[in-house]
Structure 1
Amino acid sequence: MTLEPVAPASTVDGTVDGAIPKVRHDTFTVERHLAATPGTVFGAFADTPARHRWFALPGRQVSYDHDFTVNGGETASSVFTIAGSEPERLAYASRYLDIVPASRIVYTYTSRVDDIVRWASLVTVELQPVDGGTHLRWTEQAAFLASSARPEHDLPHLRGATRLRLNGLPAALQPT
């Protein structure tokens, strides 16, 4: 029995001829001092309205769902447009693996752009009481599965977006 060759097919990430993009791995840590107790900071992750005040995708046509339980998760999507470019469909999906109230949150997530998983990450958020508040330590281990047009910018973009997002956390700690 002879097998016939199969014609090259384009995959969902655009590769052809069986070429699989190399996965790039990286890790980064962002630390913040927050003028609130670990329980209050934890609440900004756990309480859906509070989380949505500091954690959101950019763009319009935003959808959002959050289940803060072990094996629960979060989904968000939006359409993001930059002048002179085609709109991008953004999607985020997470799964909580470990939740220790006022102390630790561990979760995984994927980030999609136009239905292509760009990266998958494991995130550990640690909350330690310190004088005058909480020391937050966010450690992220990312696997970049599909490069952007400028792959050297992928990690700095992710790290910068995380810092920017955490910059909004103090406002979410204030009573509404």
Structure 2
Amino acid sequence: MSPRSAVHATFVIEKHYPATPERVFAAFADPKLKARWFVGPSEWGPSEHRVDFRVGGRELNAGGPAEGPKHRFDALYQDIVPNERIVFTYDMHLDANRISVSLTTIEFAPADGGTALKFTEQGVFLDGYDDAGSREHGTRLLLDQLGAALAHGDAAH
């Protein structure tokens, strides 16, 4: 076992999408739409994904490469303001190891004929399994996948 540690960090990602706030929000809120972009790399194969999008609802996304380890995202929705804000807490696991616990706020605002999205994550990264730089990189990849889904109509109503 590695030495115990708790490293705190915050990162902010700002993106612009050429879609309305309603459409971008729906890509997070509608389980079928979210499943089109909130996925791991293609070599991981299919993942388990369940969403109960409401205050007090949970979201689970679990998967990974065939040879392991299994990655598990387990979230609890704390606050939802339709088309404006989503706040959730979540923890990440690699197999049986909890690697982080985070508070995330996603804000949506009309801007330049589309949506300004602000993604703020405050996390504690545990026991050296993960770090804020890696998490920010992975989050940027997911938000790029969201952009591609919106551009191709994959995240449309």
TM-score by length of 2: 0.89
- Larger RCO: Structure 1 or Structure 2 (Cα < 8 Å, ≥ 6 residues apart)? 2
Are 1:140 and 2:125 counterparts?
no
Are 1:55 and 2:19 counterparts?
no
**In structure 2, C-alpha distance between the alignment counterparts of 1:105 and 1:46, rounded to whole Å:** 9
Give runs of aligned pairs for residues 1-176 of structure 1, distance below 5 A: 14=1, 21-58=4-41, 59-60=44-45, 62-80=47-65, 87-148=68-129, 154-173=131-150, 174-176=152-154
Aligned residues: 151
Q: Which runs of 5+ in 2 are unaligned?
A: none
**In structure 1, C-alpha distance between the alignment counterparts of 2:65 and 2:57, rounded to whole Å:** 26
**In structure 1, C-alpha distance between the alignment counterparts of 2:69 and 2:5, rounded to whole Å:** 23
1:69-89 CA-partner distances (Å, limit 9, x unpaired) = 1010211111325xxxx5211
Q: Percent identity?
A: 39
- The 8 Å contact of residues 5 and 128 in structure 2, kept in 1 or not, is answered as no
1:51-94 CA-partner distances (Å, limit 9, x unpaired) = 1111123423521111101010211111325xxxx521111100
Structure showing greater Rg:
1
105-114 or 86-95: bigger deviation: 86-95
Secondary structure in 2 aligned to 1:95? strand
Q: Which runs of 5+ in 1 are unaligned?
A: 1-13
**In structure 1, C-alpha distance between the alignment counterparts of 2:23 and 2:64, rounded to whole Å:** 32
Secondary structure in 1 aligned to 2:35? helix
**In structure 1, C-alpha distance between the alignment counterparts of 2:21 and 2:64, rounded to whole Å:** 34
Aligned-CA RMSD value: 1.6
161-170 or 60-69: bigger deviation: 60-69
1:175 partner amino acid:
G
Q: Runs of 4 or more off by more than 6 Å in structure 1?
A: none
**In structure 1, C-alpha distance between the alignment counterparts of 2:105 and 2:149, rounded to whole Å:** 20
